[in-house]
């Protein structure tokens, strides 16, 4: 039987101080053009935490509004605040920077990161008050250090400074004096990724209504690499995340594929479960400091706020079929192969129609497509266009070519089979996966039957190949009853199974 999506977690972290110090657009500018107008002007374009929370696309990401509700508000959205929007949502939360620094410190197992004792004292209560942060994590908080120690490591020991409201409040030091793979810069990126992955994983476990002990395996699919000079990408974020999140029975590994990583990882996870190797697998990923303010030059030039001011994270819980949850159909996979080439139409055909053709289905038989759900507020002013819309136009054009829709219906195809993008440009974060939480609910409510999740990856950026990459899979209405009936299981047995699963589902809803 197919595996199911049992629950999802989606989190954002507002990190205004990391934009200038850790975003590569800014750090590169500091090297090549230190006195530039851009660097002078940037601080005037930073959003407050409240502004980031009151932003419709961010509220969509954490599940407080649906993609349909977002699409009903005409963009751009950055100048239309949602007043008094909540921090917490159905899928997760938007964590403020100070609390995230505490979470980062708890995720550091090598005594690399220390915060000022006053800073810890000031923010510890808020950190503890977050219902998702349990006592084992709180117990990992270090009481903090004096300013002298912070300044010593930042000034004399190549540590990365940790800043809050532009003030030095901590350090994250290198893990080796010579090895660049363990430099303070790399360790900071990796601990940020790990901490945001931990947060998303905690929400996914809670939302799925499972126990932490139930998780057999976790697959990390972010775009960072951890290791040392003898094994630069040795790994593994997954198990490191599971340790802090308390998934005591889980092992894990990392899967990489640039922005297509999540789609590959979910197919792997669904395969592990369907094969019977494991009963419960989590796919998770944290966020990326390097991409903060990536398109900032264009945003500042056009008088917009720096919209790339949040880290993203997500986690998807995939389990054995429970009779009710939306399924992952492994008979409907699409993949970009070595021989596919890089022509956009070849790429999209490989990803979209490969699996449809196998089952004699039409493009219009998929109710919703979730390709790359980048927020157009971010990409349009930067000259990358409206990425999801571009994908929908391509899929629509394919449907016209195949004679499945009329050319006159091409204009309405994106709204009917697609959505407006809402995810931050954090590479792997927008790549198909932001819709999985909504798709699960829409499928279970009977609003849609099939959704295709599409991940695409720019492998060529690694300079190891000039190839592109992509992977797609289909989520669908649960077919357990049909499958069991076909296998000779009695209707009564099926009813008992479904009744049990529905009870669990209802209990989770109440718990929410």
Q: What residues make contact with other proteins under the rule CB under 8 A?
A: 28-29, 32-33, 36, 38, 259, 294-295, 297, 341-346, 348, 372, 374, 379, 382-385, 387, 390, 393-394, 397-398, 401, 425, 427, 430, 458, 460-461, 466, 468
Beta bridge partners of 329: 474
When the beta carbons of 55 and 468 are compared against other proteins, the nearer one is 468
Residue 301 Cβ vs other proteins, minimum distance, rounded to whole Å:
9
Residue 93 Cβ vs other proteins, minimum distance, rounded to whole Å:
24
* φ, ψ dihedrals at 81, nearest 5°: -65, 145
When the beta carbons of 170 and 313 are compared against other proteins, the nearer one is 313
- For residue 396, give both structure tokens: 């629509």
When the beta carbons of 174 and 428 are compared against other proteins, the nearer one is 428
Residue 407 Cβ vs other proteins, minimum distance, rounded to whole Å:
10
When the beta carbons of 56 and 468 are compared against other proteins, the nearer one is 468
- For residue 70, give both structure tokens: 């977002």
What is the Cα–Cα distance from 362 to 409, expressed in whole angstroms?
A: 15
Contact of 430 with 423, CB cutoff 8 Å: yes
**Does an H or E element contain 444, and which?**
helix 436-444
Sign of the CA dihedral running 60, 457, 187, 190: positive
When the beta carbons of 153 and 422 are compared against other proteins, the nearer one is 422
* φ, ψ dihedrals at 90, nearest 5°: -60, -35
Residue 33 Cβ vs other proteins, minimum distance, rounded to whole Å:
5
Residue 473 Cβ vs other proteins, minimum distance, rounded to whole Å:
21
When the beta carbons of 27 and 479 are compared against other proteins, the nearer one is 27
When the beta carbons of 82 and 222 are compared against other proteins, the nearer one is 222
Contact of 25 with 288, CB cutoff 8 Å: no
- For residue 274, give both structure tokens: 């369907």
Cα angle at 58 between 19 and 95, to 5 degrees? 60
3-state class of 281 per DSSP? strand
- For residue 452, give both structure tokens: 């295709």
Contact of 285 with 428, CB cutoff 8 Å: yes
When the beta carbons of 145 and 356 are compared against other proteins, the nearer one is 356
Residue 130 Cβ vs other proteins, minimum distance, rounded to whole Å:
30
What is the Cα–Cα distance from 186 to 85, expressed in whole angstroms?
A: 34
Report the helix count and the strand count for the chain, using DSSP H and E.
21, 13
When the beta carbons of 24 and 251 are compared against other proteins, the nearer one is 24
Residue 402 Cβ vs other proteins, minimum distance, rounded to whole Å:
12
Residue 369 Cβ vs other proteins, minimum distance, rounded to whole Å:
15
Contact of 10 with 434, CB cutoff 8 Å: yes
E strands present in 23-145: 94-95, 113-115
Residue 183 Cβ vs other proteins, minimum distance, rounded to whole Å:
21
When the beta carbons of 33 and 136 are compared against other proteins, the nearer one is 33
When the beta carbons of 127 and 422 are compared against other proteins, the nearer one is 422
Residue 341 Cβ vs other proteins, minimum distance, rounded to whole Å:
7
Residue 423 Cβ vs other proteins, minimum distance, rounded to whole Å:
10
Please tell me what DSSP assigns to residue 110. S
Contact of 56 with 77, CB cutoff 8 Å: yes
DSSP 226-255: --BTTBTT---HHHHHHHHHT-TT-EEEE-
Residues 6+ apart with CB under 8 A from 18: 97, 192, 289, 292, 311
- For residue 20, give both structure tokens: 């200038």
When the beta carbons of 227 and 341 are compared against other proteins, the nearer one is 341
Contact of 445 with 459, CB cutoff 8 Å: no
**Does an H or E element contain 168, and which?**
strand 167-172
Residue 255 Cβ vs other proteins, minimum distance, rounded to whole Å:
20
When the beta carbons of 113 and 429 are compared against other proteins, the nearer one is 429
> Is omega for the bond preceding 236 within 30 degrees of 0, making it cis?
yes
Residue 231 Cβ vs other proteins, minimum distance, rounded to whole Å:
26
In 73-183, alpha helices (H)? 97-107, 117-129, 135-138, 147-156
């Amino acid at each position: 039987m197919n595996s199911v999506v049992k629950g999802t977690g989606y989190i954002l972290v507002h990190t205004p101080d990391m934009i200038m110090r850790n975003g590569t657009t800014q750090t590169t500018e500091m090297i090549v053009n230190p006195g530039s107008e851009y660097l002078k002007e940037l601080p005037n374009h930073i959003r407050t935490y409240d502004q980031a929370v009151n932003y419709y696309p961010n509220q969509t990401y954490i599940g407080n509004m649906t993609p349909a509700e977002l699409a009903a508000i005409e963009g751009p959205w950055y100048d239309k605040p949602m007043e008094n929007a909540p921090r917490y949502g159905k899928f997760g939360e938007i964590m403020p920077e100070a609390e995230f620094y505490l979470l980062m410190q708890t995720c550091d197992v090598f005594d690399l990161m220390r915060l000022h004792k006053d800073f810890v004292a000031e923010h510890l209560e808020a950190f503890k008050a977050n219902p998702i942060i349990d006592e084992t994590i709180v117990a990992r908080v270090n009481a903090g250090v004096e300013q002298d120690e912070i300044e010593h490591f930042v000034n004399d020991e190549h540590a990365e400074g940790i800043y809050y409201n532009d003030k030095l409040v901590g350090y994250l030091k290198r893990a080796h004096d010579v090895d660049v793979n363990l430099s303070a810069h790399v360790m900071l990126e990796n601990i940020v990724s790990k901490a945001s992955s931990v947060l998303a994983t905690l929400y996914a476990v809670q939302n799925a209504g499972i126990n932490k002990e139930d998780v057999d395996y976790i697959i990390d699919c972010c775009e960072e690499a951890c290791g040392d000079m003898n094994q630069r990408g040795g790994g593994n974020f997954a198990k490191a995340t599971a340790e802090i999140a308390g998934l005591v029975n889980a092992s894990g590994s990392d899967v990489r594929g640039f922005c297509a990583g999540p789609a590959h990882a979910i197919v792997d996870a669904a395969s592990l479960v369907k094969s019977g190797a494991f009963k419960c697998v989590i796919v998770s990923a944290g966020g990326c400091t390097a991409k903060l303010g990536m398109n900032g030059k264009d945003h500042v030039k056009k008088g917009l706020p720096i919209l790339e001011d949040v880290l993203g994270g997500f986690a998807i819980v995939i389990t054995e079929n429970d009779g009710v949850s939306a399924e992952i159909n492994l008979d409907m996979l699409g993949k970009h192969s070595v021989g596919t080439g890089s022509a956009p139409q070849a790429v999209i055909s490989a990803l979209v129609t490969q699996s449809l053709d196998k089952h004699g289905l039409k493009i219009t038989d998929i109710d919703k497509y979730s390709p790359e759900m980048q927020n157009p507020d971010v990409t349009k002013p930067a000259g990358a266009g409206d990425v999801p819309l571009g994908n929908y136009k391509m899929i629509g054009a394919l449907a016209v070519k195949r004679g499945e829709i009329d050319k006159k219906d091409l204009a309405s195809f994106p709204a009917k089979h697609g959505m407006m993008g809402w995810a931050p440009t954090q590479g792997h974060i927008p790549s198909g996966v932001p819709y999985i939480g909504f798709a699960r609910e829409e499928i279970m409510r009977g609003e849609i039957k099939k959704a295709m999740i599409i991940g695409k990856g720019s492998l060529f950026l690694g300079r190891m190949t000039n190839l592109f990459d992509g992977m797609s899979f289909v989520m669908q209405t649960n077919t357990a009853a049909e499958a069991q009936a076909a296998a000779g299981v009695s209707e009564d047995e099926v009813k008992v199974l479904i009744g049990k699963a529905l009870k669990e589902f209802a209990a989770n809803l109440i718990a929410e």
